[in-house]
Structure 1
Amino acid sequence: MRPRIVFPLGPQPASLKSPGTPARRGPTESRAVLRIEWLMIALVLLLSGIAVTVANASNHINSDTPLPIVFVHGQLGSAQQFETQAMRFTSNGYPQQLLYAFEYDTSSPLNPVSDLDAFLDAVLGETGAAKVLAIGHSRGTTVWTSYLDDPSFDGPAKVAKYVNIDGRTSEELPGGVPTIGIWGEWNTADSGYNRRGNTNAQIGPDPADNYYFGTKSHTEVTTSAEAFGLMYEFFTGHAPATTDVIPEPPGQVTIAGRAVIFPANVGYPGATVELWRVDAATGHRIGDEPRASFPIGLSGAFGPVKVNGLKHYELAVRRPGDPETIHHFYFEPFSRSDHFVRLNTSLPNQGLEVFVPNDAGRTNLVVTRQREFWGDQGSQSDLLKIDGLNVLQPNTSPREGVNLALFAYDDGLDGETDLDKGELFPFNILTFLTAVDVATFASPDASGTVSISDDPRGSGNVTVLNVPNWPSDIHRIGVQFRDDDQEIERFTDPALGPRGR
């Protein structure tokens, strides 16, 4: 294995110990939660005389007052790791206003348990609920378990149930709170990528409360449909009506989120977020003025704003400075309301930007997906193409690298593309990130187009996003692909393919 800086999950309290090998419990990959097609759901419900709406597969919550859900991300993470799951929850009738993400500065080694406690108090005060439902991923599991086990706080009185995803282990239930564990390849025996001596991880005393997915990577397991099915049933007492993201009528879709300095996850005061409609074929803006504009304050919040679920959009972060720089973000169509959009940027020429050559004659790209990019798995590899060139190779994005973001730029500004260089420094020693030497030429007025296609493993659903060839001296480009791999969604123009692509 190559040397790589692995960000820790955080300090492990003495009470949290690695268990022995528990008995494995399904569902295994072959018995994973099956997705139910929306048309079948609608037909069954209609034949039963039950009124349904297109927006929700089922108003399937046990209580008239469901509890708020609070997600805590891991190292170098954000609410992006909850984005798809939030849309799955609302697809099953869960109220959007009861979905929360606690975000924190992962550059600090300290676990923000006091901040989490204050956040929970605010959520309970805002919703009037007595308790919350908790989800933690990776380092987020350390934040949650440290909080629940700390006698300085009254955490167990505020948390009804807890889902621990691919992170901390414990022989006891954290704070005595009912808990299930969901584990990916790092923590599943015989996965080939196990990091604990080829044993199963476990949280709590009962092996039957732990679920293993040995073919899913560290982030993939938390954004997966299978994980959603497990957490939904654990929280509500019954299986979800669907594990798909059900599209809404295009005119009813809204988006909202935060523009933040990453990985501190703090707002970008003085910045402005602009919403633009773009031509799907070129990525070029439609019209001379943005559809909406939001001044950004300390929270980083923008929206909600209405969009059309069949159209393509750009969200641009105008970053103050001399000169002003603009970070452009491009997305697949927002088929369903999404209130966890994250525009993760940085201060100009700080952070990783100092390692990337920005030049008026070159276009630089950062492509992200909350499901790891595999380039060394043969027929089970992903294909990520920039102007037709597949940049995922065994030497640029091996499975063990757990890469969620790929930087593409002309290394050395020599005008040559050279994938034989492998992962460029310093990305080759950073977890979750990779970088490749791809020379893409810019136009002064960004009149050209760069085409990026994502062909996820095991799916066959190729998504193409086209973006302008912005010059990188002033402009940064982020391309965000969805992490789910649904084949068909409703409210789609057949000429555009799945999800209106």
Structure 2
Amino acid sequence: MKPVLTLPLFAAALMAGCASQGDTNTTADATPPIVFVHGNGDSAALWQTTYWRFESNGWPRSHLHAINLPYPLARDDDGKPQPGRTSTAEHRDYLKKEIDQVLRQTGASKVVLVGNSRGGNAIRNYIQTSMQQTGTVAVSHAILGGTPNHGVWSRAGEREGNEFAGTGSFLTGLNAPKNAAGDEVAGPVRWMTIRSDNNDKYAQPDAGWPASTGKPTGVDYAGPELKGARNVVVPGIDHRETSYSAPAFEATYRFITGHAPVRLDIAPESQVQLSGMVTGSGIDPLDAKSGNFANNLPLPGAKLEVYAVQPDGPDAGARIGQPLHVQTIAADGKWGPFRAQANRPYEFVIGAPGYATTHVYRSGFPRSSDIVILRPERIAEADRAAKQIVILTRPRGYLDAGRDRMLLDGRAPAGLPPHGGMLASSKLLLQETAPRAVQAEFNGERLAGRSWNAADGEVTVLEITQ
């Protein structure tokens, strides 16, 4: 039977569980290099607050590395080439190159791997392949948040070529027993999974959750667990929060170090420097009606401007003076460095041919970051009748109307189900042309921006940090 731990009592048990798998405090390096692997369609930027929490507990920034998979979406059928998407083998090999580079740079003998969702598939595939080929692997710990280890669906004959099919060859190969006990994970790596009790959209017994349709998926809430791993359950968290939330960080830190972090909040820095990439998105070449799909490719030629903005009051979101940073993006897609004022809110303006001029408003940055990834929007056909478009987005989690305290322009965000972590964004479509302040609040985080005219090809994005 799989060991399962739940909050709020999981902390003490997790300490004991770590000891049972080996005392990590005896390692020569108390802060081993960590490689973070984002999920399907996501980017390295989602690990930003996780970086900050590790740094706030003494982890050197040089030992924190996040891959940024150029084509982060899985293929519909893993065995068939599909433009703009990656196979499980390509994903695994990309991760291997990053691990090899981190080992060379740091001189470490092993890394820690932390993955969210699809990122966990690549981690498992890399470890299993390495063990099969060489009998060893340069990994000490593997932490998987919300990884659909037994599939998003698991019904015989249903899309079994897809890497998320529980009855498909990819997952059945990973889950094959590794020892006489039937464990699904192999040593000497120490394994941990983190899952929600019932709020992970990709670990649901009903395919139509939260509005049940009665069509079973063949999986359940415990689908992310693995036999032989330490399996942690955090009530109420959503799919992305299995990796990017404070409780997920605490569980991860304890598992790696064998002791509690000193702090869960983020320690501010006196000097903040920001940099990252400007990336694009495209139209799926296999289906022109499918709309935008994400990639992490550089967007050369894009223009970036950064403005300080008023944090509150009647002029909330209004620019303060001239742009503080102006840059035309080169072939590598990189932007920065930009020396920011700690905890000062900013507006990032990205303009590129074929995209809407996108005004991204962010809360103040308490610490430096080199994974600030900016992506311009396209205006969807369904939204073209609106005079102004404001998008509230939460990259590191979902917007749960039954759980979260949130407002967009003084009202509940539109388009969300009454409960459940299903959607990461909400749109406010306005039929007015005069620019004005638009404010948002999410569980205590407040940010403000300005509305812009969609007829001029401009879109507002309010991006939640937490």
TM-score, length-scaled by structure 1: 0.68
What SS does the corresponding residue of 2:295 show, helix, strand or coil? coil
What SS does the corresponding residue of 1:256 show, helix, strand or coil? strand
Equivalents in 1 of 2:297, 2:119: separation in Å? 17
Equivalents in 2 of 1:455, 1:372: separation in Å? 11
Equivalents in 1 of 2:358, 2:63: separation in Å? 30
Equivalents in 1 of 2:120, 2:353: separation in Å? 36
Per the alignment, do residues 175 and 149 of structure 1 end up closer, same or farther by CA in structure 2, a change over 3 Å counting? Answer: farther
What SS does the corresponding residue of 1:264 show, helix, strand or coil? strand
**Residue identity in the other structure for 2:72:** T
1:237 corresponds to: 258
Per the alignment, do residues 190 and 87 of structure 1 end up closer, same or farther by CA in structure 2, a change over 3 Å counting? Answer: same
Are the counterparts in 1 of residues 351 and 358 from structure 2 also a CA contact under 8 Å? yes
What SS does the corresponding residue of 2:125 show, helix, strand or coil? helix
**Residue identity in the other structure for 1:454:** E
State the Cα deviation string for residues 141-192 of structure 1 (Å, max 9, x = none). 1111112212586695232211011112543225752211111134889999
Equivalents in 1 of 2:134, 2:420: separation in Å? 39
CA displacement at 1:219 relative to structure 2: 1.1
State the Cα deviation string for residues 345-379 of structure 1 (Å, max 9, x = none). 35xx5xxx3434347x822112111221112x2xx
Which of 385, 390, 412 is the matching residue for 1:390? 412
CA displacement at 1:398 relative to structure 2: 4.0
2:59 corresponds to: 94
Equivalents in 1 of 2:56, 2:26: separation in Å? 11
Per the alignment, do residues 146 and 398 of structure 1 end up closer, same or farther by CA in structure 2, a change over 3 Å counting? Answer: farther
Equivalents in 2 of 1:149, 1:235: separation in Å? 20
1:53 corresponds to: none
CA displacement at 1:127 relative to structure 2: 2.6
CA displacement at 1:294 relative to structure 2: 3.1
Per the alignment, do residues 154 and 101 of structure 1 end up closer, same or farther by CA in structure 2, a change over 3 Å counting? Answer: farther
How do 1:71-470 residues align onto structure 2 when only pairs under 5 Å count? 71-104=36-69, 105-109=71-75, 110-111=87-88, 112-151=91-130, 157-167=137-147, 168=149, 170=175, 171-174=183-186, 176-184=188-196, 185=198, 186=200, 197-198=219-220, 200-201=222-223, 203-206=225-228, 209-249=230-270, 252-262=271-281, 263-281=294-312, 282-288=316-322, 290-320=323-353, 325-346=356-377, 349=378, 353-358=379-384, 362-369=387-394, 370-375=396-401, 377=402, 380-386=403-409, 388-392=410-414, 396-400=416-420, 402-409=422-429, 439-443=430-434, 448-456=435-443, 461=444, 463-470=445-452
* Aligned positions, number: 380
Are the counterparts in 2 of residues 33 and 226 from structure 1 also a CA contact under 8 Å? no
Q: Which runs of 5+ in 2 are unaligned?
A: 13-24, 76-86, 151-174, 176-182, 211-215, 282-293
For the aligned residue pairs, the C-alpha RMSD in angstroms reads 3.1
CA displacement at 1:202 relative to structure 2: 5.9
Per the alignment, do residues 277 and 63 of structure 1 end up closer, same or farther by CA in structure 2, a change over 3 Å counting? Answer: farther
Percent identical residues: 25
Are the counterparts in 2 of residues 452 and 464 from structure 1 also a CA contact under 8 Å? yes
Equivalents in 2 of 1:166, 1:345: separation in Å? 28
1:435 corresponds to: none
Equivalents in 2 of 1:189, 1:471: separation in Å? 40
Equivalents in 2 of 1:146, 1:127: separation in Å? 23
Per the alignment, do residues 156 and 70 of structure 1 end up closer, same or farther by CA in structure 2, a change over 3 Å counting? Answer: farther
CA displacement at 1:68 relative to structure 2: 1.7
Equivalents in 2 of 1:464, 1:260: separation in Å? 26
Indicate yes or no: 2:463 matched with 1:476: no
Q: Which runs of 5+ in 1 are unaligned?
A: 1-20, 35-59, 410-438, 484-501
Are the counterparts in 2 of residues 145 and 174 from structure 1 also a CA contact under 8 Å? no
Are the counterparts in 1 of residues 45 and 371 from structure 2 also a CA contact under 8 Å? yes
**Residue identity in the other structure for 2:347:** E
Per the alignment, do residues 292 and 372 of structure 1 end up closer, same or farther by CA in structure 2, a change over 3 Å counting? Answer: same
**Residue identity in the other structure for 2:400:** W
